[in-house]
Chain A
Amino acid sequence: MNFFRFIIGSIKIILQGNKTYYAWLIFLLLLILWGGFGYLGQLSEGLIKTHMRDSVSWAFYIGNFTFLVGVAAAAVMLVIPAYVYNWKPIKEIVIFGELLAVCAVIMCISFIVVDIGNPLRFWHMLPLIGTMNFPSSMLSWDFFVLIIYLLINSIVVTYLLYCTFYKKEYNKSIVLPLVLFSIPMAVAIHTITAFLYNALPTRIFWNSALLAPRFLASAFCSGPAILLILFQILRKTTKFEIKDEAIWRIAELMVYAMFIYLFFTIAELFKEFYSGTEHILYWKYLLFGIGDNKEIIVYSWSSIIMGFIAFLLFLIPKTRKNFLTLNIGAVLIYASVYVEKGIALIIPGFTPDVLGQIYVYTPSMTEIRTAVMIFSVGFLLFTFLSKIAIAIVFDDYNIDSLNQKRKRK
């Protein structure tokens, strides 16, 4: 009963808002509709509406999935520096980090659902009622850890908000172990996602031990970029207090991550290009194209250039401490990692294919619309959840405000 009233309170929060809020909601709903009709076409005619074919059998969808696993992981890993450097609003950082993680994992699972040929048979993957191939298949592992991660984060964040809503002190012996457990789980979801690709000896482009470390490093670039911007918005519009130093510190940590990512990639490139075996083909396709097939290099180079600019902006103290250039850098690194994970990671795994044939892949309109649909749903969910969190945590929206309103009526 108590929980029911918490839900009622939360629904009331998301229904109230100013014009900008409603405009934002309508904008997202329009995008969902536009994307949704694209996805309907795929549902009725099959994945033939995408540009994937037997040669390139995984592409943009699974790339988006991989990117979002990174976002989900990094959002929670940010709790470590918040704790180490003793940033004041640690509870708030945990709440918003975990909310972001919850939304990102839901988007991940959506990208898997739209990517499989028979979404209705999804239950075959579940333990007990289906025949989950555990522990052999890395996909079962990945699904398994993602579900656990989603559960932990939803439980913690709901519990924290619920306690604040009822003006109760939260039970540290429940929250602390769960938060501490969610941190290694964050590492686990991204590592296992890397292993998903890494485990395929025939896909030479992915069969490098550096894949998982590179995944983690790139996640530490893209995930905090979102929170960096979110924290600034919260600071301006609510009572949320976070010092400039803390924001600059996040940026500093992102520079380290970018540097490590760059170093790993250069090590990989050196090995491939200096040894010059036939394995070099995939990197060649990614960076320069093979023969006349150069369609993909737009993606790879735009990702590299955006990444480099962001790296410089974050590296130079003057531009790091200027909020305009800092935010430009955050957007650039986010976009860079998105293109890298979305296209540049997946496609060279399949081109040239295992029999040496080249099928040129770029995403189809249906794939783009479906991705827009999922991202809009994710943003909508994140908007709702943050609005609830802001009202409860910063605007003292609680059980009394719910009761008072009822009395007034």
Chain B
Amino acid sequence: MKKENSRRSFLKNISLATFSALALSGCDMKAIDEFLQQNFRTLSKKEIDEIIKNLEAKYKRKYGKEFHVSAKPAIEGTLFGYALDLSRCIGCRRCVYACVKENNQSREPQIHWIQVLQMEKEKGIDFAHSNVQYNPEKVPEKGHFYLPVQCQQCRNPQCVTVCPVKATWQEPDGIVVVDYNWCIGCRYCMAACPYGARHFNWGEPNVPVEEINTEMHYLGNRPRMKGVVEKCTFCIQRTREGKYPSCVEICPVGARKFGNLLDPDSEVRYILENKRVIVLKQELNTQPKFYYFFGI
């Protein structure tokens, strides 16, 4: 391990030397440090603390507010699971907008981590005949049901397999996260994801200062930059503190359930035991931890 570190610092020094030689114009050291920052999973506790301190200061300068960026690791003995009651969902999209607000998603260009699909009752779950742009006065519409799709937090995540730089991985509590500082923006994960759950910052993301959520997690809702991929993290900044994801809290019909799959008394375990559940695109062997069920 020690050897590894010395090699890394050696390489870091070399690249630092080269880079500073290139950037003679004297751009500030912080930018260079950020440029040379290593993959989150190879950083030590000390390095992470340092980075977070700098981030909080940087956000304060940029937005003029106090920020709290957490890097809280997974709690031992947790494996998060989600269950969504298809017979209750009315397609109101409150979850979509609660998610946008909680997770500081870009308003313009618009990014939505949750897509709600309107489907025809006669056809069942049929993506080819579904519609994500439905826009009636009132929901639910006659003859239709609604299927919200977000990251399915697969046990066998294709997106993680294909990433060429290991910028995305599955945490011990089952959440698939992205290191925004390491992602090169090749979008191979987006091609691999069967659920359209990954979203790219095609332009500079834009969140109004007054609406920004200052409670953040490093691997979750902190502001993203142009050219990186982002996705649902089960609201990692909330769920690791023992709260529900914001989509669960906002749902007016109680269609969304969340909990620890390893806890026999949790609500998700109750649903798995007493209702019949399905997962989307089960034939692809992604093994989601996001279940759909029919509660009524």
Interface positions of A (Cβ within 8 A of B): 45-48, 50, 52-55, 57-58, 112, 115-118, 120-125, 128-133, 136-140, 143, 199-203, 278, 281, 349-350, 352-357
Contact = CB atoms under 8 A, between A and B. Distances in A.
Contacts, number: 147
Contacts of B126: 356
A139 B164 contact: yes
B227 interface: yes
Given A131-B39, A143-B164, A357-B132, 9 more contacts: A46-B226, A47-B227, A55-B196, A58-B187, A118-B228, A352-B127, A354-B196, A355-B117, A356-B127
B162 A199 contact: yes
A139 B188 CA distance: 8
Interface of B: 11, 15, 35, 39, 42, 109, 115, 117, 126-132, 149, 158, 161-167, 182-188, 190-196, 198-204, 226-229, 281, 284-285
Given A116-B184, A117-B185, A201-B284, A125 B130 contact: no
Which A-B residue pairs are the 3 nearest by beta carbons?
A117-B185, A117-B227, A356-B127
Contact of B183 (A53, A118, A139, A140): A118
B15 A129 contact: yes
B191 A137 contact: no
A355 B127 contact: yes
A15 to B, nearest CB: 28
B166 A200 contact: no
Nearest to A123: B15
Contacts of A350: 191
A222 B239 CA distance: 54
B162 A202 contact: no
Contacts of A50: 202
A46 B203 contact: yes
Contacts of B191: 57-58, 200, 203, 349-350
A348 B175 CA distance: 31
A130 B187 contact: no
B196 A117 contact: no
A120 B254 CA distance: 45
Contact of B194 (A131, A354, A357): A354
A354 B164 contact: no
A47 B202 contact: yes
Given A46-B204, A137-B161, A117 B194 contact: no
B284 A125 contact: no
Contacts of B192: 200, 202
Contact of A115 (B166, B186, B229): B186
Nearest to A346: B191
Contacts of A48: 109, 202-203
A218 B211 CA distance: 53
B164 A132 contact: yes
A349 to B, nearest CB: 7
Contact of B158 (A115, A118, A202): A202
